[in-house]
Amino acid sequence: MAGIKDVAKTAGVSVSTVSYVLSGKRPISSKTTDKVLKAIEELGYIPDASAQKMRGQLNHIIAISEPMHEGMNQMQYSAYFMQSAWQARSAGYDVLLLTGPDAVADIERVTHSNLVDGVLLLDVEERDARVAAAARYRKPCVAIGLPKSHKDCACIDIDFAKMGRRSADRLFALGHRQVALLRAQEIDYERHAGYVLLFREEFLARADEIGLDVFESGPVDNATFDARRFVSDMLSRNPRPTALVSQSGVSILNLTVTALMAAGLKIPEDISVLSCGTFLRDEPMRRPVSEEPFEPERLCAIAMGSLISSIEKRQSIAGEVTLIDPKFIDRGSLASAPRNVGSGDGGFSVSASFGGRQADLAQADSAQADVETSASESIASASQSRNLEGEPMD
Amino acid sequence: MAGIKDVAKTAGVSVSTVSYVLSGKRPISSKTTDKVLKAIEELGYIPDASAQKMRGQLNHIIAISEPMHEGMNQMQYSAYFMQSAWQARSAGYDVLLLTGPDAVADIERVTHSNLVDGVLLLDVEERDARVAAAARYRKPCVAIGLPKSHKDCACIDIDFAKMGRRSADRLFALGHRQVALLRAQEIDYERHAGYVLLFREEFLARADEIGLDVFESGPVDNATFDARRFVSDMLSRNPRPTALVSQSGVSILNLTVTALMAAGLKIPEDISVLSCGTFLRDEPMRRPVSEEPFEPERLCAIAMGSLISSIEKRQSIAGEVTLIDPKFIDRGSLASAPRNVGSGDGGFSVSASFGGRQADLAQADSAQADVETSASESIASASQSRNLEGEPMD
DNA sequence: TTGTAAGCGTTATCAT
DNA sequence: ATGATAACGCTTACAA
């Protein structure tokens, strides 16, 4: 392994000259510079990272903490993760990924041993042990997420509270008075993922304030969720909800949208759909859904930016909180509330259609496939009967 | 920051004693050990990683190279990635992730600068620049994948060639003589992802040898794939394929399975479906599909194991190739070929059903949603007509 | 403009 | 069983 001494010898100069050529911290004659550069090239010299760091230089490594846990949305987190890695690399930093179960210990280890220059916390929960322990890390630390207590850690997040209130307002403004709320996976509430709780709380509170009637779904679990049932429950209310706000993931949202359409409802004419705290951009959807999204790029860029600036300026950012204004992406699934949605009027009496079919189901295969298919069949009859009533076939 | 000197001072011993207490490379009296340990505890001392490495110690960091590229299957690669990270951590190694576009430069940088002890290459293509440059890395390097030339790099992969041949044999043995091959995304062939090419080649070659007639899909692109059309094309052949082998990703496979069922075909009675080179385990499927899967855990465990052993034994593994026997996961989507599948006989004339509906479609909304719905509608009629023919409703 | 040498925090060799 | 110290490869203050 060629070291700085070898370069110096080859170039016929002293080691300090080589060092200064590399760092540019001292003027060097162009003749000498050339010799040195040539020697470096020739020997394929790359400075030893450890020796540099021993001299107090930065390591240019950032730890990203993202402990794996049950039921994590890989897509979603890898989006954050990839974005952060990209941002870090663009700024000349490598990324050390910490996924182990004992995150705090890992972070202490890599910060105390001077392995990394800073720490980024992903997937932060409402009460996050990593954030709570931030004071003990000897390096700057930024969290994406806003836990309850965060006095020793910089936090950056979308303003989910505002998102909740704004969503309620948005639907109200469109004339909706009855809305359904499709919950996120129960597991997300249980682990107290800050954003799901915050959004839901504020949404419900605001809805209550302005007189928006909310029908909230039961607990949701990706494995067992029954979209037809949820839709059927929702539509059997009187008056029925004219809008659906969803906190759930893509697959469940897709199933629900499918079930809504299967129930003969057109989006957005008959029912508005709004997905909040999701990241649908690259997801294949049954039908595009308007969204108040996560914004991995924006969040990660801001977080990484302030982390790196804190590192390089050597100035603490502990306790700083940055809340980002939520964005709204219009994908055409929101419209003014339809009139006359009570049962027995010009609207569809979908529950009847479902009910009729449900009797049949008892005899049918219990395979999910068939259940879904039969949902489609009942649409067929729904549109047929609509047609008989002289309504346009659309 | 407390260093080893501080510990020595506090404990009232010399620095070497502290070092030996930590490394255990020299017998120390228990009395002294206690004093030292207490001091370490008291000061929260953690050795400086760089100083350790300057003394020739291992860094316990492994670089994982996984350049981001267009159209990469995030789910799939994050599976490999997460597995590797997990394996590394279990062995006491941290993971440095290299995702930058200039992978070779990054790897050279981190190996030459002694930042990492070894390198794992993920997402290796048929002609992989990273593998080709392996001789220049000054650290052990293992690739998951089997590129054309690999003399300076250890390679570990599933035996996709064998998988291809075996899949052909498997279907043949079940009596299938006509099979459809649903290609992977075109972009995967274009970037010469080793496994897609290898599998397809060997599958086709073996099919040819044993007399298996293969109807291969056109180019596939996630964004524009039309499952109904593919199924319709496939079923319009005479005799129609009785089995489908798929190299495509989950979403496309799901769409295709849905379309098959929508066309009135039961899996596996009417058509067998086999997915190869995929990783469906945790994916929500329309219907379970038997699979010759990727095996991230197994591959990563083996790869990481040999990498770490090469690191710790300081013995080269360049050029070693390990091919893993492919596994078959039975999810009940494979059965013996049905008899009488020619058009006009006891089978379904599905293309007619599609054809009839297609005329209607011209007037319908062009939204994808409606297209899919109508596919479902045509099932309804298909099963109805079957019923009229006195067949069991299932 | 360039060279010399101290020192970063460890580990390992040589003493005791 | 323990201590003193050289060495690792680099950066930088000081010297020339």
**DSSP structural state of residue B367:** S
Report chain A residues whose CB lies below 8 A from the CB of B69: none
CB B176 within 8 A of CB B214: no
In the prediction, which pLDDT does B283 show? 79
User: How far is Cα A264 from Cα A380, in angstroms, rounded to an integer?
Assistant: 9
Q: How far is CA A138 from the centre of its chain?
A: 28
Least confident window among A225-239, A255-269, A310-324, B339-353: B339-353
Protein residue closest via CA to C1' of C9? B51
Whether nucleic acid strand C comes within 7 Å of the CB of B56, the answer is yes
In the prediction, which pLDDT does B352 show? 34
Please give the mean pLDDT across all residues of chain A: 84
Within B 57-96, residues with CB less than 7 Å from strand C:
57
Give A86 to chain B, closest Cα distance, Å: 7
Of the candidates B84, B142, B136, the one whose C-alpha atom is nearest the C-alpha of residue B111 is: B136
How many angstroms separate the Cα of A249 from the Cα of each of A124, A371, B281?
18, 21, 19
**Does residue A116 belong to the interface with chain B, where contact is any CB pair within 8 Å?**
no
A95 → closest Cβ in B48, B97, B262: B97
Cβ–Cβ below 8 Å for B108 and A287: no
**3-class DSSP assignment, residue B116:** coil
Task: Output the CA angle B27-B32-B34, nearest 5 degrees.
Answer: 110
> Locate tokens 């001494």: which residue?
A5
User: How far is Cα B99 from Cα A84, in angstroms, rounded to an integer?
Assistant: 11
Give B239 to chain A, closest Cα distance, Å: 27
Give B9 to chain A, closest Cα distance, Å: 20
Reported as type and span, the H/E element at residue B386 is: helix B368-388
Q: Nearest chain B Cα to A252, which residue?
A: B284
CB A221 within 8 A of CB A183: no
In the prediction, which pLDDT does A308 show? 97
Sign of CA dihedral B369, B375, B378, B380: negative
**Does residue B69 belong to the interface with chain A, where contact is any CB pair within 8 Å?**
no
B380 → closest Cβ in A44, A99, A377: A377
Looking at the DSSP assignment, which residues form a beta bridge with residue A125? A193
**Does residue A384 belong to the interface with chain B, where contact is any CB pair within 8 Å?**
no
Which residue of A72, A97, A248, A304 is the best one to mutate when testing the B interface, meaning the one whose CB has the most B CBs within 10 A? A97
Of the candidates A94, A345, A322, A18, the one whose C-alpha atom is nearest the C-alpha of residue B111 is: A94
Strand D, nucleotides covered by protein (CB < 7 Å): 1-5, 7-13
What does residue A144 show for φ and ψ, rounded to 5 degrees?
Answer: -95, 110
**Does residue B95 belong to the interface with chain A, where contact is any CB pair within 8 Å?**
yes
B 267-296 residues with CB below 8 A of A? 284, 286-287
Reported as type and span, the H/E element at residue B277 is: strand B272-278
Reported as type and span, the H/E element at residue B179 is: strand B178-182
Q: How far is CA A229 from the centre of its chain?
A: 27
Least confident window among B67-76, B111-120, B231-240: B67-76
Cβ–Cβ below 8 Å for A114 and B50: yes
Spacing of A229 CA from C10 C1' in Å: 65
> Between B198 and A188, whose confidence is greater?
B198
Whether nucleic acid strand C comes within 7 Å of the CB of A51, the answer is yes
In the prediction, which pLDDT does B356 show? 31
Report chain A residues whose CB lies below 8 A from the CB of B98: 94
Predicted confidence (pLDDT) per residue in B4-35, tens digit: 999 999 999 999 999 999 999 999 999 999 99
Least confident window among A29-43, A185-199, B366-380: B366-380
**Does residue B82 belong to the interface with chain A, where contact is any CB pair within 8 Å?**
yes
SS (H, E, C) chain A: CCCHHHHHHHHCCCHHHHHHHHHCCCCCCHHHHHHHHHHHHHHCCCCCHHHHHHCCCCCCEEEEECCCCCCCCHHHHHHHHHHHHHHHHHCCCEEEEECCCCHHHHHHHHHHCCCCCEEEECCCECCCHHHHCHHHCCCCEEEECCCCCCCCCEEEEECHHHHHHHHHHHHHHCCCCEEEEECCEHHHHHCCEHHHHHHHHHHHHHHHHHCCEEEECCCECCCCCCHHHHHHHHHCCCCCCCEEEECCCHHHHHHHHHHHHHCCCCCCCCCEEEEEEECCCCCCCCCCCEEEECCHHHHHHHHHHHHHHHHHHCCCCCCCEEEECCCCECCCCCCCCCCCCCCCCCCCCHHHHHHHHHHHHCCCCCCHHHHHHHHHHHHHHHHHHHHHCCCCCC
Exposure class string for B310-340: b at 16+ Cβ within 10 A, else e:
bbeeeeebbeeebeeebeeeebebbbebbee
Strand C, nucleotides covered by protein (CB < 7 Å): 1-5, 7-13
User: How far is Cα B298 from Cα B41, in angstroms, rounded to an integer?
Assistant: 39
CB A43 within 8 A of CB A10: yes
> Locate tokens 């080691």: which residue?
A15
B125 band by pLDDT with thresholds 50, 70 and 90: confident
| Strand D: protein residues, Cβ closer than 7 A | A 1, 3-5, 15-16, 19-20, 22-23, 25, 45, 47-48, 51-52, 54-57; B 12-17, 20, 26-29, 31-32, 51, 54-55
Average confidence (pLDDT) over B34-38: 95
Spacing of A139 CA from C10 C1' in Å: 21
Least confident window among A21-35, A66-80, B184-198, B202-216: A66-80
Predicted confidence (pLDDT) per residue in B265-324, tens digit: 999 999 999 999 999 887 778 799 999 999 999 999 999 999 999 999 999 999 999 999
**Does residue B365 belong to the interface with chain A, where contact is any CB pair within 8 Å?**
yes
- Please check the confidence at residue B353 and state whether its pLDDT lies above 60: no
Cβ–Cβ below 8 Å for A365 and B394: yes
Least confident window among A263-277, B87-101, B213-227: B213-227
Which residues have a Cβ under 8 Å from the Cβ of A388 and sit 6 or more positions away?
none
For the CA atoms of B316, B318, B321, B327, the dihedral, rounded to the nearest 10 degrees, stands at 70
**Does residue A227 belong to the interface with chain B, where contact is any CB pair within 8 Å?**
no
Protein residue closest via CA to C1' of D5? B16
CB B117 within 8 A of CB B64: no
Average confidence (pLDDT) over A191-219: 92
Task: Output the CA angle B210-B216-B221, nearest 5 degrees.
Answer: 145
User: How far is Cα B181 from Cα A245, in angstroms, rounded to an integer?
Assistant: 41
Q: Nearest chain A Cα to B45, which residue?
A: A112
**Does residue A26 belong to the interface with chain B, where contact is any CB pair within 8 Å?**
no
For the CA atoms of B278, B282, B286, B288, the dihedral, rounded to the nearest 10 degrees, stands at 70
Protein residue closest via CA to C1' of D9? A51
Predicted confidence (pLDDT) per residue in A247-258, tens digit: 998 889 988 998
Confidence (pTM): 0.81
Predicted confidence (pLDDT) per residue in A278-299, tens digit: 998 877 787 999 999 999 999 9
User: How far is Cα B263 from Cα B338, in angstroms, rounded to an integer?
Assistant: 16
Reported as type and span, the H/E element at residue B321 is: strand B321-324
In the prediction, which pLDDT does B258 show? 84
User: How far is Cα A70 from Cα A250, in angstroms, rounded to an integer?
Assistant: 18
Which residues have a Cβ under 8 Å from the Cβ of A343 and sit 6 or more positions away?
A238, A240, A349, A351
Average confidence (pLDDT) over A201-223: 94
**3-class DSSP assignment, residue B340:** coil
Spacing of A113 CA from D4 C1' in Å: 26
Cβ–Cβ below 8 Å for B114 and A49: yes
B 300-339 residues with CB below 8 A of A? none
**Does residue B237 belong to the interface with chain A, where contact is any CB pair within 8 Å?**
no
Please give the mean pLDDT across all residues of chain B: 84
Strand-pair category, B321-324 with A118-121: unpaired
- Please check the confidence at residue A72 and state whether its pLDDT lies above 80: no
Residue B293: both structure tokens together: 């899967």
Whether nucleic acid strand C comes within 7 Å of the CB of B44, the answer is no
> What percentage of chain B exceeds 90 in pLDDT?
69
Nearest nt (C1') from B30 Cα: D1
